[in-house]
Amino acid sequence: MPSPSSRMLALLSLLQVRREWAGDVLADRLEVSPRTVRRDIDRLRELGYTIEATRGPAGGYRLSSGAELPPLLFDDDQAVAVALALAVAPASGADIAEAAARALATMRQVMPSRIRHRVEAIDVLATHGDPAVSPEVLVAVSEAASAHEILRFDYASAWGDGEAAPPLRVEPHAVIAANGRWYLLAWNPSTPSPEQQGRSGDDSVAAGDWRTYRIDRMRPRAPTRLPFTPRPIPGRDPVAFVAARFRGSTSTAWPCVGTAVLHLSAREIAPYLDSDSAIEEQDEGCTTVTMGSWSWRALAARFAGFDADLSIVGPQQLKDAAIEVGERLIGPTDPDRRKRALRGGVDQGTL
């Protein structure tokens, strides 16, 4: 017969995996009497677990949230997942590195050796997100999005000019973490102020449009408690929608995609490409690269950034953009001669 301690752990495990259990079903699963189940439930309550008794012919029990955090019970895989999540928490962009380190140390103290060895075998060095987001700000923004309440906040300028601007008032829909930063996807129904009209990029505010805000620049005001009706997000996938906005597109694909042959090996190029770029190594240390960007000029500059000889394959928009970028870099000295040289290089497929 199992000991009372192991039986209570088994009972707690059952209560955590299902919302409600009938008393006689719990007794059958634990192979004890309903009276023993009632005694074990009382012991769990003394430990801090809030367990509600439900009425009915058979009666039942439901594990609910309480005023304090009681001891938790994890299986091996859950314990490893939580430990790894705490280890990489500094890279999340939230300012919780110290709290995560303390929580991980607490978990390691009580981990069985078989689990501790699995966690410590993975040597994780996580870089800190920059800039970090205050947990209080992140919770306030997330609560407004979850409760579908109007959010008022001050938004810092991207240029740090210190200009005071009226607080923004938006309908928050989703909080998204991407590349070590946190963003709010919101609908801004208001008309932009003159100060806001002069801004561009993610900091701009358009009337009646979806906007993306960096949460590290947000300072929420007092909760408004004003509800709003959520709007359908285009594509119904907030993550994909924000990713498309970052690329200046209406889909997750880059709006401008082109191909060039770089005089570098694939091994030298691969670390600097996005996951959606394509490479094909050619003879004599050359590699064909297809990648995208939000504009043709940005794509031409991206190819040139590899600091190697290259031949632009196409399309023609990329060739034209390469000429424009080259003209800007060369400057006004003898512009006609420079322009003819650049156009000749592009026509011949080299730059």
The Cα–Cα gap between 168 and 214 comes to 13
* Residue 139 and residue 242 share a domain: yes
Between the CA of residue 307 and those of 3, 79, 269, what are the distances in Å?
70, 47, 11
C-beta atoms surrounding 11 within 10 Å: 24
Residue 29 lies in a domain: yes
Residue 128 lies in a domain: no
Read out DSSP for 64-98?
E--SS-------HHHHHHHHHHHHTGGGGSBS-HH
What proportion of the chain, given as a percentage, has pLDDT over 90?
20
Read out DSSP for 92-129?
GSBS-HHHHHHHHHHHHHHS-HHHHHHHHTS---PPPP
Query: Is 199's pLDDT higher than 70?
Result: no
- pLDDT given at position 230: 93
Q: Return the structure tokens found at 78.
A: 């859950």
The Cα–Cα gap between 139 and 104 comes to 21
Which range among 48-57, 72-81, 105-114, 298-307 has the greatest average pLDDT?
298-307
Per the listing, tokens 């190697």 go with 308
AA identity, residue 188: N
163-184 tens-digit pLDDT: 567 899 999 999 998 877 889 9
* Residue 209 and residue 149 share a domain: yes
Residue 90 lies in a domain: yes
- 3-state secondary structure (DSSP) of residue 138: helix
* Residue 239 and residue 158 share a domain: yes
* Residue 206 and residue 159 share a domain: yes
- pLDDT given at position 295: 86
Radius of gyration of the chain from Cα atoms? Answer: 29
Residue 341 main-chain phi, psi, to 5 deg = -65, -40
Query: Cβ distance 259 to 313 under 8 Å?
Result: yes
- pLDDT given at position 204: 44
Residue 109 lies in a domain: yes
**77 vs 176: which has the higher pLDDT:** 176
- pLDDT given at position 221: 94
**205 vs 156: which has the higher pLDDT:** 156
Q: Which of 195, 218, 246 finishes a domain?
A: 246
What proportion of the chain, given as a percentage, has pLDDT over 70?
77
Write out the residue range of the structural domain in which residue 180 sits. Answer: 135-246
* Residue 231 and residue 146 share a domain: yes
AA identity, residue 247: R
**22 vs 194: which has the higher pLDDT:** 22
**267 vs 121: which has the higher pLDDT:** 267
Residue 126 lies in a domain: no
- pLDDT given at position 146: 92
Q: Which of 246, 280, 301 finishes a domain?
A: 246
- 3-state secondary structure (DSSP) of residue 238: helix
* Residue 185 and residue 142 share a domain: yes
* Residue 157 and residue 206 share a domain: yes
Say how far residue 96 (Cα) sits from the centre of its chain. Answer: 15
Q: Return the structure tokens found at 86.
A: 């705490």
* Residue 307 and residue 285 share a domain: yes
The Cα–Cα gap between 115 and 105 comes to 14
Band of residue 202 on the pLDDT scale cut at 50, 70, 90:
very low
113-160 tens-digit pLDDT: 888 788 777 666 666 666 788 888 989 999 999 999 999 999 987 665
Residue 71 lies in a domain: no
Cα 55-60-65 angle, rounded to 5 deg: 100
- pLDDT given at position 184: 94
Residue 130 lies in a domain: no
Q: Residue 256: in which H helix or E strand, if any?
A: strand 256-262
* Residue 191 and residue 273 share a domain: no
Query: Is 227's pLDDT higher than 80?
Result: yes
Q: Return the structure tokens found at 229.
A: 């009706």
Q: Distance from first CA to last CA of the chain, Å, rounded?
A: 80
* Residue 154 and residue 108 share a domain: no
The Cα–Cα gap between 228 and 230 comes to 6
- In total, how many domains does the chain have? 4
272-314 tens-digit pLDDT: 887 778 989 887 789 999 998 878 998 999 898 888 888 899 8
* Residue 141 and residue 241 share a domain: yes
Q: Which of 246, 274, 306 finishes a domain?
A: 246
Band of residue 194 on the pLDDT scale cut at 50, 70, 90:
very low
* Residue 142 and residue 198 share a domain: yes
Axis-axis angle for helices 34-46, 4-17 (nearest 10)? 80
- 3-state secondary structure (DSSP) of residue 218: strand
Residue 226 lies in a domain: yes
Query: Is 24's pLDDT higher than 80?
Result: yes
